[in-house]
Chains A and B, each alone.
Chain A
């Protein structure tokens, strides 16, 4: 890649890196794997960047490449989820903002989301990011109707996980 294009890419990546970090938080369970996946996604973005024509926003394109890497290209298998990871590393919530019940509820929710399979996780992630169903369906390669149906099922699944 030309140095100019490379610089442009790095600037964009630095600015939009939160997207990648959020995906890494959902798809990995510890700091090491987080960094690993972050690196793999960055490499895939870098490799795909010359083909990015600016038809869509950089961030939209980034969602797609990053999620695809997490779902289809990331080689390492996941370690088993340990509950203490949630307390120690992930999703630290400033306690003064919430009362205990809300905090507890959120913790359980995050734990439940992380138990979902790769595809369901992607759906929840895009939903939490407030993406319209048209974009969710396009990213995953399913119809919009299917994306809605699937999201409803995921909500049910999450409820079951929370109640169990």
Chain B
């Protein structure tokens, strides 16, 4: 292609018009903070973890503990929390390891693979969090169904045919609530990581397409 050869010749000539940054300026530059993609993925994942732990601490008030005890759920809750934190700590270890593995000296494809692996770990983390949210919500609601005096009263009224809601209605209402909660969280995650990774995914597809075609 003639044009590309023309461009090649011109390409070498443009060096004269390139800016030149002096060493003193370069010193300042290399000590500035990086705003690379992987760093942001890690920061968001850590913030997210802080959010979950924070939520747990805030909701663990005396009243809530008493409440859990009355629902015969306190011990189960402790077991769940310990398991949950152990699993989350494992995820953090994975995040850290993945982050450490990323070095810019690899080939573009390998580097992208590694970044996408970080993303996969984040995805598993999201799936785990959503499943945990789902399971604990179901467990709490089951406990409430059997032990919460208010729910019991509501059920008694409805069984007598006086209340405005039947016991099945209550179950459906709870299920709806859980589904909405899960969808909201899922959308939130999608938005959070989706924006960061759109371009990367596009580039990775471009490289993959090439290997598949030939």
Contacts and interface: CB of A to CB of B under 8 A. Distances in A.
Interface stretch (B1-9, B58-66, B186-194): B1-9
Of B8, B17, B104, the most chain A CB neighbours within 10 A belong to B104
Interface string B86-129: 00000000000000000111111111100100000000000000
Nearest to A155: B1
A118 B13 CA distance: 24
Interface stretch (B132-140, B162-170, B172-180, B206-214): B206-214
B6 A10 contact: no
In this complex, the interface size class of chain A, counting residues with CB under 8 Å from chain B, is 35 or more
Interface in B1-52: 1, 3-4, 6-8, 10-11, 13-15, 17-23, 26-27, 29-30, 32-38, 40
A102 B29 CA distance: 38
Interface residues of B, number: 51
A51 B105 CA distance: 9
Q: Can you list the 7 inter-chain pairs with the closest CB atoms, starting with the nearest? A: A141-B109, A141-B107, A46-B30, A73-B36, A128-B11, A65-B104, A43-B34
A157 to B, nearest CB: 11
B107 to A, nearest CB: 3
Contact of B104 (A17, A48, A129): A48
Given A69-B36, A75-B36, A48 B26 contact: no
A50 B32 CA distance: 18
Contacts, number: 165
B196 interface: yes
A162 B1 CA distance: 12
A92 interface: yes
Interface stretch (B68-76, B141-149, B197-205): B197-205
Interface of B: 1, 3-4, 6-8, 10-11, 13-15, 17-23, 26-27, 29-30, 32-38, 40, 103-112, 115, 196, 199-200, 202-203, 206-207, 210-211, 214
A142 to B, nearest CB: 6
Contacts of A44: 34, 36, 104
Mostly, the B contact residues are: helix
A73 B7 contact: no
A40 B34 contact: yes
A72 B203 contact: yes
Contact of B214 (A65, A77, A127, A145): A145
A106 interface: yes
B187 to A, nearest CB: 21
A96 interface: no
B206 A13 contact: no
Interface string A40-56: 10111111100110000
A139 to B, nearest CB: 6
A142 B37 contact: no
B19 A119 contact: no
Nearest to B202: A117
A91 B105 CA distance: 29
B108 A109 contact: no
A18 B35 CA distance: 22
B27 to A, nearest CB: 6
A140 B207 contact: yes
A25 B50 CA distance: 40
